């Protein structure tokens, strides 16, 4: 499954352009490590050691949510100081937030729902966007916007694996990233669903571990998830 930009199949702007690079890199990383840590940063200086711990554990994609005042600074710090991490912005609710996140250094956009302004801004800024969907109507709307990779949220409450399989039977060229209710206990079950290209979750970066500076625990959780992902491919 290739991560695509909206309003078309795969973005074919000038070779080396930002969208081509970011989408290709995101696709490559998802194939290698199909787990996306969803990170809430309350204190911006914590972002860099958290990102480095995730990378050390085998998870190079880092989604920092715009749920705190420190989020944009955190994204900028990771983009500048952890080049091996592919950092993006999550919980993007508006066009203005999307623009601010990309300006800070975000290489992809994730939102909890489907909003035309966010999708349009991401397209204009040439970054991949993965909006959240729950219902067939939302998936169909996203499909008609040219999107083929969607966040399925909140996965556990919205029907879980049975619902994903039902949606995939209709939207056969759509890949899903279930988020919400995912943990090490059910990660493999979700990754073994053919339409699932990756899973996202906040269990990888517990707030207590971040607050305590327990970055070894974050590395351990990332390594555990990477191992589960590897097993699911066998």
Check residue 219 and give its pLDDT. 98
Whether 63 is catalytic = yes
Give the separation between CA 146 and CA 159, rounded to whole angstroms. 25
Short-list 36, 22, 26, 1, CA closest to 125? 22
Assess if residue 209 is contained within a domain. Answer: yes
Report the run of H or E that residue 132 belongs to, with start and end: strand 129-133
Catalytic residue among 28, 151, 216, 234: 151
Q: Could you report the per-residue pLDDT of 12-29, keeping only the tens digit for each?
A: 333 333 455 778 889 999
Assess if residue 116 is contained within a domain. Answer: yes
Beta bridge partners of 90: 65
Catalytic residue among 28, 63, 124, 217: 63
Domain limits for position 204 = 18-229
Check residue 2 and give its pLDDT. 67
What total of structural domains would you count in the chain?
1
Check residue 29 and give its pLDDT. 94
Q: Give the domain CATH number at 178.
A: 3.20.20.70
| DSSP reduced 3-state for 130 | strand
Assess if residue 11 is contained within a domain. Answer: no
Check residue 9 and give its pLDDT. 36
> How would you label 100-123 residue by residue, b for 16+ Cβ within 10 Å and e otherwise?
bbbebbbbbbbbbebbeebbbbbb
Assess if residue 7 is contained within a domain. Answer: no
Assess if residue 77 is contained within a domain. Answer: yes
For the chain (234 residues), the mean pLDDT of every run of 10, in chain order, is 53 39 88 96 98 98 98 98 98 98 98 97 96 98 96 97 98 98 98 97 98 98 98 84
Whether 231 is catalytic = no
Give the separation between CA 37 and CA 99, rounded to whole angstroms. 22
Check residue 1 and give its pLDDT. 58
The whole-model pTM stands at 0.92
DSSP secondary structure, 34-77, as one string: -EEEEE--SSGGGHHHHHHHHHHTT--EEEEETTSTTHHHHHHH
């Amino acid at each position: 499954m290739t991560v695509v930009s909206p309003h078309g199949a795969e973005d074919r702007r000038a070779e080396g352009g930002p969208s081509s690079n970011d989408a290709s890199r995101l696709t490559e990383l998802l194939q290698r490590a199909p787990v996306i840590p969803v990170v809430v940063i309350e204190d911006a200086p914590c972002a860099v050691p958290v990102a480095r711990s995730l990378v050390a554990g085998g998870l190079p994609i880092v989604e920092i949510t715009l749920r705190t005042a420190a989020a944009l600074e955190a994204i900028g710090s990771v983009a500048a100081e952890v080049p091996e991490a592919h950092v993006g912005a999550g919980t993007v609710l508006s066009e203005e937030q999307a623009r601010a996140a990309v300006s800070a250094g975000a290489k992809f956009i994730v939102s909890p729902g489907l909003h035309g302004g966010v999708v349009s801004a991401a397209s204009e800024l040439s970054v991949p966007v993965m909006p959240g969907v729950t219902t067939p109507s939302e998936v169909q709307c996203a499909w008609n916007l040219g999107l083929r990779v969607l966040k399925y949220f909140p996965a556990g409450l919205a029907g879980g694996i049975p619902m994903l399989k039902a949606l995939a039977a209709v939207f056969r060229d759509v890949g899903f990233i279930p988020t919400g209710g995912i943990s090490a206990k059910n990660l493999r079950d979700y990754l073994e669903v053919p339409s699932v290209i990756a899973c996202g979750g906040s269990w990888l970066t517990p707030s207590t571990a971040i607050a305590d500076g327990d970055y070894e625990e974050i590395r351990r959780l990332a390594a555990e998830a990477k191992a589960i992902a590897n097993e699911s491919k066998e």
